[in-house]
Structure 1
Amino acid sequence: MRIADLHCDALSKLDRDPKLDWAESSGGELDVTAEGLAGGNVGLQAFAIWVPAGTPKTPESALRQAAIFHDKILSAPGMRLVQSGADVEAVLGPGASERGALLTLEGADALRGERWALRLLHRLGLRMLGLTWNEANWACDGIMEPRGAGLTKEGRSLVAECEALGILIDVSHLSEKGFWDTAELARRPLIASHANARSLCPHPRNLTDDQIRALVAAGGLMGITFVPFFLQALRPAGIDDVLRHVEHVCALGGANHIAFGSDFDGIDTYTVGLAGPADYPALADALLSRYPEPLVRGWLSGHARRFLTDHLK
């Protein structure tokens, strides 16, 4: 089955170590490689620009990762830049043979409020933006910021400009107040590219049942993630734990709003059986052992295909 994955951090690793070879397996330094995507039949992979602590959070840092995306990711044979619904259909639709790369931004910190930087990244293919990582920035508070504030005035303006450009808003990492501020403000459905259910695993990064219901009611999309400590707090996480979160979102009415966002290359420990995109067939088999094939196809790529086709300009 064709796969869509809504989040990975390979660009940050490639930025830190230019010697890494993305085209082929690189001795384990990269989770996501061209070889791995082919092995897992991943038709669409989202690549996040993320500027970590210790790297200047400037537009130049973000643009450098955008350049890596174009120079390394898109230069691999058969890779297509995904900017529109037509591109989504080309990589996830019937008979698709190419693989799609979607450019995203995890945390608006590096923009420093500079609208020229947002517009330039949009021209380079940016089509999804997470307002912050875990801490506070000029736009909003992250979920680990103790004060728990929502969007700033500048953050509200950023949401409006993203919507005008056709950039989707990702609510992963947002404070709860920020989530509700964004849900109230946004005109397009929101996406949580990599998050799980907090009622099953009480990590702050996971979404509450009320947040999941709101996302579903607005026609949004939730990418169940493979971060082990977002799946299971008390023991090593396995594929069965991924299925528990899928089942819970279904119970909240979200069966038609589930996708996957692995967070590969953004984690140091792995869910057993899910160490890279080549392991997606094992997840597909586990899902098919419990659920009808049409549901599984939707979760693996169908819902992401529909959502992105509908909402990417």
Structure 2
Amino acid sequence: MCNEDFHTGSCAASNNFRMQTLRNLLILSSLCHFISGYSVKHRVQDLMSRYPLIDGHNDLPLKLRILHNNGLNHIDLHNLSKVATDITRLQTGHVQAQMFSVYVMCGAQNKDAVRLTLEQIDVVRRMCTEYHEFELVTSAHALRIAEMRHKIACLISIEGGHSIDSSLPALRMFYQLGVRSMALTHTCNTPWAESSSQLHDLYQRQHNSLTHFGKAVVAEMNRLGMIVDLSHTSWDTAQAVLHHSRAPVIFSHSSSYALCNHSRNVPDWLLHELKKNQGLIMVNLYSKFISCSGEASISDVADHFDHIKKVIGAGSIGIGGDYEGVASFPRGLEDVSKYPALIQELLQRNWTEQELADVLRRNFLRVFEEVERVRDELSSQQPSEVHIPLEEVQNPCRLVLRPPDFIPAFKVVSSSAPHRPQALVIAAIVLLLCSPIMIG
């Protein structure tokens, strides 16, 4: 302490020096904090400008049907309410390519699933050709060209094998319309593959997770150059496909079972099988699949990326947000404009820019190009003519073409006939089964 009688001047100078030094340190600290914060955000913007995101799953077409009955003429896709996706927010989020899901509810299986799927393909094709910011693409090369043209590339994906009504010709026609990916199941089994869900009890079977016809579907998708999507399939079906497919496959919107034990997520042993296949898991952002509860944070999402990276490496990871398909998203990731916040979190966890470039787009491009390489390798093969046995389809609405002599004639039954009530009941059941009502 300074002596007030003899050293007042020296004491004041010393105190002034200390105060100035403290102010300088505080300013320097604030400046460093500002520069550090700005630096990370700047790195994210720069990185995502050079490697804009390819998002593996978005259900905007479903919301367009639910909210607007697919009436594109009466809405503006630049600015949509009640949804998490529109053109403005896709651009803000640096989403350069979007796999748009063509989804129809499982209640349409064995009824009008094919028609409904065609209508959803129509709405995707319309929105991606009527808005100049979008560009419909059907190849990896076209996707790259769209990026050079600063367009948001649209890829069409069918979500649920029930959309093809167990028909390889229908699968081929969907390919002709631009479909480049198909999930083998949704929340219901198909006659030839098992779902991860127990919501529906259709087509239950034991020890036959991918039937002979199911393998024919996978093989035909390989021949066409259509990406096989295993999100929503059971683990046994996924394993069977990974052993059967000649091309890499994807989980378009699934997360890590080790961190959240939901059946829609992928266990570590199956991740290792995916690695052998050189396939891709595109991490889902649905809170329930991230934290197994209704709430989650960006940190929780990053934990899934960290875990999967530890198990199979960053070269097998992508992003499949599942926006518009589920109810809740982590805090800070409420819509598609928020993707930079996720990349910032991963940068702060010491992910390298090269790893993140892979996650953002290069891994998906690698898989897509390899699927096309296998297609070219199989180009000499004829289209498959495998048909599913009728007893496996179990669909009373499926028309069986027979010569007229084999079609039983309908008999007029009098009102007093004893079997008339049973006939009416049978007729009513058939009408109910074949009705176009969709039950999710």
TM-score computed with the length of structure 2 as normaliser: 0.67
Of 130, 134, 138 in structure 2, the residue corresponding to residue 75 of structure 1 is: 130
| 1:15 and 2:75 correspond | no
In the alignment, structure 2 segments of 5+ residues that lack a partner are: 1-47, 376-440
Conserved? CA contact 1:85–1:311, under 8 Å = no
Residue 44 of structure 1 is matched in structure 2 by 97
The within-5 A match list for 1:270-281 is 270-281=329-340
| C-alpha displacement of 1:58 | 2.2
Residue 125 of structure 1 is matched in structure 2 by 178
CA distance in 1, matches of 2:290, 2:317: 15
Aligned to 1:135, the other structure's residue is in SS state: coil
Of 131, 139, 149 in structure 2, the residue corresponding to residue 84 of structure 1 is: 139
Q: What amino acid sits opposite 2:113 in the alignment?
A: T
The more displaced of 13-22 and 96-105 is 13-22
Q: What amino acid sits opposite 2:142 in the alignment?
A: D
Aligned to 1:74, the other structure's residue is in SS state: helix
Conserved? CA contact 2:248–2:370, under 8 Å = no
Judging changes above 3 Å, is the alpha-carbon distance between structure 1 residues 234 and 130 closer, same or farther for their aligned structure 2 residues?
A: closer
The more displaced of 73-82 and 18-27 is 18-27
CA distance in 1, matches of 2:71, 2:117: 19
CA distance in 1, matches of 2:227, 2:355: 24
Residue 24 of structure 1 is matched in structure 2 by 78
CA distance in 1, matches of 2:263, 2:315: 24
Judging changes above 3 Å, is the alpha-carbon distance between structure 1 residues 294 and 139 closer, same or farther for their aligned structure 2 residues?
A: same
Residue 154 of structure 1 is matched in structure 2 by 213
Q: Spell out, residue by residue over 1:61-99, the C-alpha distance to the aligned partner (whole angstroms, 9 max, x if none).
A: 11110111111233211322221121122234xx45121
The more displaced of 133-142 and 223-232 is 133-142
The within-5 A match list for 1:210-225 is 210-225=269-284
Structure 1 segments, 4+ long, off by >4 Å, are 53-57, 146-149
Residue 138 of structure 1 is matched in structure 2 by 191
Aligned to 2:122, the other structure's residue is in SS state: helix
Of 350, 353, 365 in structure 2, the residue corresponding to residue 305 of structure 1 is: 365
| C-alpha displacement of 1:273 | 1.1
Report the aligned-residue RMSD: 1.8
Conserved? CA contact 1:172–1:205, under 8 Å = yes
CA distance in 1, matches of 2:340, 2:78: 19
Aligned to 1:129, the other structure's residue is in SS state: strand
The more displaced of 266-275 and 55-64 is 55-64
CA distance in 1, matches of 2:189, 2:246: 24
Q: What amino acid sits opposite 2:78 in the alignment?
A: E
The within-5 A match list for 1:93-104 is 95=148, 97-104=150-157
| C-alpha displacement of 1:169 | 0.4
Of 276, 290, 295 in structure 2, the residue corresponding to residue 236 of structure 1 is: 295
Of 140, 159, 168 in structure 2, the residue corresponding to residue 115 of structure 1 is: 168
The within-5 A match list for 1:272-291 is 272-290=331-349, 291=351
| 1:65 and 2:120 correspond | yes
Conserved? CA contact 2:257–2:263, under 8 Å = yes
Judging changes above 3 Å, is the alpha-carbon distance between structure 1 residues 218 and 127 closer, same or farther for their aligned structure 2 residues?
A: same
Sequence identity (%): 26
The more displaced of 222-231 and 113-122 is 113-122
Higher share of residues assigned helix? 2
Q: What amino acid sits opposite 1:12 in the alignment?
A: L
The within-5 A match list for 1:158-177 is 158-177=217-236
- Report which of the two structures shows the higher radius of gyration computed on alpha carbons: 2
Q: What amino acid sits opposite 2:81 in the alignment?
A: G
Question: Which has the higher relative contact order, 1 or 2, with Cα contacts under 8 A spaced 6 or more apart?
Answer: 1
The within-5 A match list for 1:185-224 is 185-224=244-283
